[in-house]
Amino acid sequence: MKICITSTGKSLESPIDPRFGRCSYFLIVDSETLQFEAIQNIAANAAGGAGIHATQIIAKKGVNLLLTRNVGPKAFRALSSACIKIYTGESKTGLEFIEKFKKSELRLVNSPSVPVNKNIESKNMRKIGGE
């Protein structure tokens, strides 16, 4: 199974990044061998739709499962549509996240954990409206 972990760095020992769409890196991990690939999240600086773009990135890598702390409504819908299960819990590193997942110590996410980012939506609406 391919697992994606949101991370602040390129290692399984790097601290977890609590954000999905705007995390620094995705660690794509083979759950059996723990071999992984670190991918810089190019969606992190998007003006809007970072969660949707981030979902496209990890879906193209064949990810089945996401380990993160927070997922917004748009990302949640995109991940659900891509059949990527989301788990959350308290972990400091990617390796700890995987260990807790294997011990069934994480929660399956059934709804967004954060609201829509109103600041980004307001900024985008002003741009659309020409102000």
Count CB-CB contacts under 10 A for residue 36.
Answer: 22
Which of residues 37 and 111 earns the better pLDDT score?
Answer: 37
Q: Say which CATH topology domain 2-129 has.
A: Nucleotidyltransferase; domain 5 (3.30.420)
Mean pLDDT (the chain) is 89
pLDDT greater than 80 at residue 125 = no
Q: What pLDDT shows up at residue 48?
A: 87
Domain ranges within the chain, ordered by starting residue: 2-129
Nearest to 112 by CA among 51, 70, 63: 70
For 71-94, write each residue's pLDDT tens digit. Answer: 999 999 999 999 999 999 999 999
Q: What pLDDT shows up at residue 131?
A: 41
Token digits for 100?
């807790």
Tell me the mean pLDDT in the region 3-29: 97
- 46 falls in which pLDDT band (50, 70, 90)? confident
For 89-98, write each residue's pLDDT tens digit. Answer: 999 999 999 9
Counts of helices then strands in the chain (DSSP H, E): 4, 6
